[in-house]
Amino acid sequence: MKFFLDTADLAEIEEAASWGALAGVTTNPTLYSRIGGKLDDFHAHIKRICDIVAPDCPVSAESVAMTRDEIVRDGRELAAIAPNVVVKIPTMVEGLAATRALADEGIPVNMTLCFTVPQAILAARAGARYISPFVGRFDDISEDGLAQLDDVVRAIGNYDFSEDTVNGEQIEIIAASIRSANHVTQAALMGADIATVPFGILKKCVQHPLTDRGLESFLKDWEKVQNA
């Protein structure tokens, strides 16, 4: 499973990239708003993210348009920012139509706000390169988000959608709305291709109290060696 960072914060992206395990970045209007983003700087900000990560790391930038023609127009503009930009489009009727049009033009799409197997299959048939089922938002309404993710992973894995994607790639499932390290664990066990996680959760994936305890013990023992 690959790790994407779910943020628009440049400092977080730079730090995570320095760890050597970052495979991509996902952004959305909420994340951009949280860093005080301005409309007239949005494209430049996406370019700055693309400049930080490796050239083969996809960076999802979301269209907020609501009609297919406007989404396609947005998608073309976003894709022109950098070769690794992926256009993020909500799973809806107009989004499906726009995804098909953009895929036919060779522009990769990440279909977001996906919650059901039928939505995921429709996104796949429309030509989406990535599909992002949300986990935590199901949990917010007292439903099992991990079970829904498992359903999507298994359903998409039943079929070959390579004839629908831009360059014949296999669709990748991005486990999104990740709220804990356990969500990451379960997504990996289910076979999700990617987990896109907030920086705080990514740090928790590295940490464990037994690791800290073992390190503390090693350092104390090494101090004894130095003083022997």
List active site positions. Answer: 88
E strand or H helix at 32: helix 29-34
Q: What values do phi and psi take at 141, rounded to 5? A: -110, 25
Rg (CA), the chain: 19
CB 67 within 8 A of CB 94: yes
**Sequence-separated (6 or more) residues with CB below 8 Å from residue 8:** 27, 31, 32, 34, 35, 37, 45, 49
Strands 22-26 and 130-133: unpaired
How far apart (Å, rounded) are the C-alpha atoms in residues 74 and 26? 17
CB 98 within 8 A of CB 71: yes
Burial of 97 (0-12, 13-18, 19+ CB in 10 A): middle
Within a 10 A sphere around the Cβ of 76, how many other Cβ atoms?
A: 14
